[in-house]
Structure 1
Amino acid sequence: MMADHGWNRSSSSKLNFKIRYKPFLGFAFSMRYRRPKYLTCTSLFIFLLLFSLSPAVQGRASHDIPWDESENAKTADLIKKRISEAGSPPKIRIGKEFIHDTVMLDRFYSRRGFRPAWAGANGSLAQAYALVKAIEDSRNEGLTPDYYHLKNIESLLAGIREGAAKDGPSFETMADLDLLLTDAFLLLSCHLSAGCVNPVTLDAEWHAGRETVDVSSILEKALEDDLIEETLIKLLPSQYGYSRLRQALAHDRKIAERGGWPAVSTGPSLKKESFDRRVIELKKRLIASGDLTPEEDESGELFDETLEQAVIRFQEQHGLDADGVAGPATLKAINVPVQARIRQIELNMERLRWIPRDLGQKYIIVNIADFKLDLFENGHTNMSMKVVVGKNYWHTPVFSAVMTYLELNPYWNVPKNIMVREIIPKMSKDPDYLAKNNLKVIWEGQGRIEVIDPEALDWSLASAKNFNYKLRQDPGPQNPLGRIKFMFPNRFNVYLHDTPVKNLFSKNVRAFSHGCIRIEKPMELAEYLLKRDPSWTQERIQAAIDDGRNKAVRLPQPIAVYILYLTAWVDEAGRLNFREDVYDRDIQMDKALGKRPPAP
């Protein structure tokens, strides 16, 4: 049966058009007529009208096939049969590929009586081609189009076009195409909205709440509104510079297409007033990445002030000492190939897909890899400060929580693992260790707290499992938590806090803690968080600290805290930043994203 857009004149006009459509190639057709010597006026009008169609209408027409509702009903029977015979665990194989989520597929088709979703009322496959375009464009998001049945779908569409030119496509082919398209949309929409990799299975320390969406309902609505591409675009992250990172990905890919950037030869450090052939290499490298313009290169082998400023900018964007000297660390970062940077961008776009779409009007982000805290208000940075995070073997976990109160002059309740690994061994060497460090043994129970004589306990038997006491350090200037602790209850017992050890903030790499996060400006943060309560002035906060007694203060307005791990991002000034992978999480991510989604 011909689709409504086709031209099938009656025998009285002696004209019979048959149109063969090809995707992405504009409008192609062949004519068969019974009177080849001339065209009637009517047929000439139709012929001219056909060529006067707008590109949009022509594009829509080129996706139509001879198909009607009765044929959809037969296809529905095949779809139902394929799903019902999937077995347990359910598996549906089409060509060389498996359907990824048969359960979700069953749910989607059951709600629509197993009617095919992708062949329109008049045989239009426009939405199928829209999905093909969206799958191809997923590369712009750092995804792999082949993961979404792209080749299989294109092969089936090619077969359908050939069938349409003859006797029409088979019901089996249409059923297979429908199942693949639906599975591709469900998988792609899930990946765009929540990431390709489950952060919990990839990395047990990544527990940021992944947003879940009803992708089945989203597909139904997208098909109803004829908005496949637009719907998928709306699923993309809208927060924390995702779109800027996508632009950076496109920029670096263009650099890669031009051959990448040149390396700088090994040798001594290069600095202002250096005269070296390697200075030319350095300039070419920075020009290739856009960190230096060709117009600024006027000094040949001389390392001038302009180059020094370009090196400083590069160092700032890579978390290095911004001294303008191209030393070992700077040259190491400069010589990272563009393909490695492209992959780093892709990995961090995936991480941004893991975090909630709506971060709120006010929120705190701690980027572990950047050793930095930023407080955002209405989408802009209101406050920034350095932080110290967990050591390589005491990783700070990634998670989100809500800060509800702070403590002035906090106690330090020593975690059991620190007590067993570090403090008890020190006690065996120095019996007075607890007293020297103002540590007390505490027993809690029945609503009371009791201080225990440490000499009454057999410390040789103490372990993280069987030690039923706590070690607690009283508030004071040497308390590891400093004078202020910021609380956002979480199962990791991680929080932000002051520290008596201020010198560590001067270092570039600040991974020295046991997992908690030491902050550079605790007083400024406390003032900001309490400013909605006019009774808590700066003077009152300082007076309460000077008093020395422990005091909990509820925040007038709770604030969300997101502990993230990002090694690439674009800042508010539009500068692409990279950081070292201090916890080797990029390596794990790269392996996980390099694997095809598993077959059922």
Structure 2
Amino acid sequence: NPIFEHTSENKLSQIETDLMVTNLYFYYVQKVSGVDEKTTKSLEWLLPRKKVNYQVFSDSIYKKATINDDKKSKMFSQYYKLRDALHQYREIEKKGGWKTIEVREDFKSLKIGDSVGTVGQIRERLYITGDLKENSKSNICDSTLIASAKKFESHHGLTPKNTILPEHIAEMNIPVSDRIKTLIANMERCRWIDPELEKGKEYIEVNIPEFRLYLIRDGKIAFVSPVVVGKMMTQTVIFSGMMNNIVFSPYWNVPTSIINKEIKPGMAKNKNYLAQKNLEWNNGAVRQLPGKNNSLGLVKFLFPNSNNIYLHDTPAKSLFERENRAFSHGCVRVGKPRELAIELLKQDPSWTPERIDKAMHAGKENWVSLKKKIPVYIGYFTAWVDRDGNLNFYKDVYKRDESLIKLLTEE
């Protein structure tokens, strides 16, 4: 309804009316923008915030005479996608949600051909959220059910399997009320994102709970790689930077904290510790020599920041096969570093894949400046609608959702 039309007798004075409308206006803008920047920083969210222009908001309201929340408006596009998902999940909740799938204590797995009552419960659960298109209500596990379970797994941060495991059922049993809270928390995070961000011609985005990196070019995904992020005690910081250099065959300058916690104790136990780890003293500090066993691998990608965080290769390739990939000291390890270097250096034709391979294995550090700096955004979303329209949920690896939900509830 129009908010500036006088449709009933107004018993307030003009001054009182103006003050009331002004207060309501500021309240509305603050709600649209989400919690204030001071609060988001206290939540360790350091990505650039959308700048709130109160005059632009007021001009648009007076022009339309309504508060119109259309999809061409002020918000990061993911907000609207999550809002649609929230509507869907609230409808599911109104209908009673889904029942808890009951399994025996000695349950190990379900495969094609198994016949048990649990199968019917799984069918019903997957049917409710659309992972299973038709519910035959059969208690026999068949290829259709396994395919639907794989779809569910792939959208919940799990590795799709040919069997249904206890951890899959545990994920299915998370109540719809909890999923709704997760959606609300991530919608709030979307309020903090400047919508101009996604209009960039080329940028890198890393979603910590998803353990994945995307290179976006002209609005489309140009490259995807699994990543390893910081563990709980050494969390990867949520922030942004401008990538300006790629370093082939890098030295690793060991942080003081690691020298004190790991290297000095190792040297005390083994006098050959430095040599065995390919380490050397360098002007009072410790660094690891270039090579395939270097902790940074064969290449690193720099975007200067006060957090000393960057992207890099790693010799510990097996970690990329795990579902939970929070193992680093805070930096982001890239599963496909060579391919990422090739993509980023397409801006410089002189850097062919062959030249990149040679530089990675040269054993001599080589810095390459990018002709165009590339924005890097490291975010934290436990619910995300992908470009194919699929809703994805991810584990809250840093336990951040609960505090945000509590904050929103208290408001």
State whether TM-score is above 0.5: yes
Q: Tell me which residue corresponds to 1:333.
A: 171
Higher relative contact order (CA 8 A, sep 6+): 2
List aligned pairs for 1:110-509, cutoff 5 A: 124-125=5-6, 161=8, 164=9, 169-171=11-13, 175-193=15-33, 195=35, 198-203=38-43, 205-215=44-54, 217-230=55-68, 235-239=73-77, 241-267=78-104, 268=107, 269-293=109-133, 296-298=134-136, 300-359=138-197, 360-443=200-283, 469-509=284-324
Residue identity in the other structure for 1:404: N
CA distance, structure 2, for counterparts of residue 257 and residue 244 of structure 1: 20
CA distance, structure 1, for counterparts of residue 245 and residue 238 of structure 2: 20
How far has the Cα of 1:214 moved from its partner? 2.2
CA distance, structure 1, for counterparts of residue 83 and residue 47 of structure 2: 22
How far has the Cα of 1:175 moved from its partner? 4.5
CA distance, structure 2, for counterparts of residue 527 and residue 201 of structure 1: 35
SS of 1:547 mapped into structure 2? coil
What is the alpha-carbon root mean square deviation over aligned residues?
A: 2.1
Count of residue pairs the alignment pairs up: 406
CA distance, structure 1, for counterparts of residue 155 and residue 229 of structure 2: 20
CA distance, structure 2, for counterparts of residue 589 and residue 431 of structure 1: 48
CA distance, structure 2, for counterparts of residue 271 and residue 331 of structure 1: 13
Q: Tell me which residue corresponds to 1:517.
A: 332
CA distance, structure 2, for counterparts of residue 496 and residue 355 of structure 1: 22
CA distance, structure 2, for counterparts of residue 259 and residue 212 of structure 1: 41
Q: Tell me which residue corresponds to 2:363.
A: 548
CA spacing shift, 1:441–1:561, aligned 2, 3 Å: same
Q: Tell me which residue corresponds to 1:569.
A: 384
SS of 1:471 mapped into structure 2? strand
How far has the Cα of 1:233 moved from its partner? 6.5
* Structure 1 gaps, min length 5: 1-58, 64-117, 119-123, 127-160, 444-468
TM-score between both structures, scaled by the size of structure 2: 0.93
For the 8 Å contact 2:71–2:80, the answer to whether it is kept is no
SS of 1:381 mapped into structure 2? strand
Residue identity in the other structure for 2:191: R
CA distance, structure 2, for counterparts of residue 346 and residue 206 of structure 1: 17
CA distance, structure 1, for counterparts of residue 165 and residue 39 of structure 2: 36
For the 8 Å contact 1:317–1:577, the answer to whether it is kept is yes
SS of 2:266 mapped into structure 1? helix
How far has the Cα of 1:199 moved from its partner? 4.9
Residue identity in the other structure for 1:206: W
CA distance, structure 1, for counterparts of residue 402 and residue 296 of structure 2: 33
How far has the Cα of 1:231 moved from its partner? 7.4
For the 8 Å contact 1:194–1:212, the answer to whether it is kept is no
SS of 1:527 mapped into structure 2? helix
How far has the Cα of 1:299 moved from its partner? 5.8
Could you say which structure has the larger radius of gyration? Answer: 1
How far has the Cα of 1:266 moved from its partner? 2.7
Percentage of matched positions with identical amino acids:
39
How far has the Cα of 1:409 moved from its partner? 0.7
CA distance, structure 2, for counterparts of residue 312 and residue 409 of structure 1: 39
For the 8 Å contact 1:408–1:544, the answer to whether it is kept is yes
* Structure 2 gaps, min length 5: none
CA distance, structure 2, for counterparts of residue 531 and residue 170 of structure 1: 65
CA spacing shift, 1:258–1:525, aligned 2, 3 Å: same
CA distance, structure 1, for counterparts of residue 155 and residue 70 of structure 2: 32
CA spacing shift, 1:281–1:471, aligned 2, 3 Å: same
CA distance, structure 2, for counterparts of residue 308 and residue 392 of structure 1: 33
| Residues 520-557 of structure 1: CA deviation (Å, up to 9, x unaligned) | 11111111111121111111112222322111101122
CA distance, structure 1, for counterparts of residue 71 and residue 130 of structure 2: 29
CA distance, structure 1, for counterparts of residue 309 and residue 113 of structure 2: 48
CA spacing shift, 1:180–1:257, aligned 2, 3 Å: farther
SS of 1:594 mapped into structure 2? helix
For the 8 Å contact 1:411–1:473, the answer to whether it is kept is yes
For the 8 Å contact 2:209–2:381, the answer to whether it is kept is yes
The answer to which of 227-236 and 304-313 deviates more is: 227-236
Q: Tell me which residue corresponds to 1:146.
A: none
CA distance, structure 2, for counterparts of residue 488 and residue 234 of structure 1: 32
